[in-house]
Chains A and B, each alone.
Chain A
Amino acid sequence: MTSETGQVDQADLDQEVIRRVLNGSRDAFELLIVRYSDPLYRHALGMTGSPDVAEDILQQSFIKAYAHLGEVRGRFDAWVFRIVANACKDWLKNIRRSHVSYEEDDQPSTYSTPEEELDRNELRTDLEVALAALAPALREAFVMKHVEGRSYEEMAELLRTTVGALKMRVHRAREALQHLLEGKYA
């Protein structure tokens, strides 16, 4: 994450882009998409486990953000994050899936041997199944802390809750994951 000054500068740049879009420059919105899509995509991917679903959630969230752009108060990145986070939680509440879809993935493999790739695929599948067993709020806290690498303070700001509550959720998520995975991997 950037420094506080960097965040303020970024927020000013975002406000300028938002002004341009509201003045009728639709193409300027692409600047916000390019700037923020990666962290939002990773969040959606961590929450859903499916690249296809993550792409759909990202698309719907940016369309929603565009339609309501005049309502942004404060930081755009935090505002659009909450749109994506809510969409992910809604998806998790509505869909109870029993399969893992990381294999739909078309990103290149980074493993040195086929055996290593096989082991990592197995872990990935088991981790996804374990994550799917968590309540959405616990999964969200775990993904933000361990996949996105955010601090508790940053998470609290984005989710509008307390650091203590988030530590509790992360601890519960870790204990549940450890319970589900330690028999096979520890």
Chain B
Amino acid sequence: MMYDDLNTPEDHSDPELGYQPPRSKASERERAPAHRLPDREVPVPNSGATSVLHQWLDGDVNVSVVRASQGGNDAVDLWTKIHDEAETLRSRTTPLYVHKRIMDSLPDDTYRGHHPWYKRSITMNPAALIAAAAMLLGIGIIIARMAFR
């Protein structure tokens, strides 16, 4: 036996219906949370061969067990082909241009405005760094000359 979850996450509250007739006690019981159906038991309609096939595909039994069952060889051949195809898909990677496309489409100011300028990180390239250093050095020289005049 297996279980299928009947309690979906969607909101099932009643829409606006206007006038509604009074509910019977039976329908009240049905609507009460304590009477909601638990996970439903669903019988798996498997023959022995199908059950063995699922066990093999779930990694629980060896392929020889499936091959020994009725129609097992055909099923193994089919699922081997499907697995080969799935393997090809599993090796797929995101095209690199997609990363750039996503970054380019992000808004610039979503989180930037939340912090004062002195807390933001800055990015500086080598040319800007050299220029800033030269400027500071120049200011330092001017201050030193004024101080020792």
Residues of A within 8 A of B (CB): 20-27, 29-30, 33-34, 37-38, 41-42, 45-46, 51, 55, 58-59, 62-63, 66-67, 69, 107, 110, 120, 123-124, 127, 146-149, 160-162, 164-165, 167-169, 171, 174-175, 177-178, 181-182, 185-186
Question: Which residue of A25, A41, A107 is within 8 Å of B98 (Cβ)?
Answer: A41
Shortest beta-carbon distance from A124 to chain B in Å: 6
Chain A nearest CB, measured from B47 CB (Å): 11
The interface residues of chain A lying within 8 Å CB-to-CB of B74 are 182, 186
The list of the 5 closest CB pairs from A to B, nearest first, reads A186-B74, A164-B3, A41-B94, A37-B94, A186-B78
Q: Is B90 at the interface (CB under 8 A from chain A)?
A: yes
Tell me, in angstroms, the Cα distance from A96 to B41 when the chains sit together. 31
The count of chain B contact residues (Cβ–Cβ below 8 Å) is 50
Asked if B92 and A62 make an inter-chain contact with CB atoms under 8 angstroms apart, the answer reads no
* B92 lies within 8 A of A174 (CB): no
Given the complex of chains A and B, what is the CA–CA distance between A89 and B97 in angstroms?
A: 25
Q: Is the interface of B mostly helix, strand, loop or mixed?
A: helix
CA distance A117 to B79 in the complex (A): 18
Bound CA span A103–B75, Å? 28
B147 within 8 A of A: no
Q: Which of A42, A59, A162, A181 contacts B5 (CB 8 A)?
A: A162
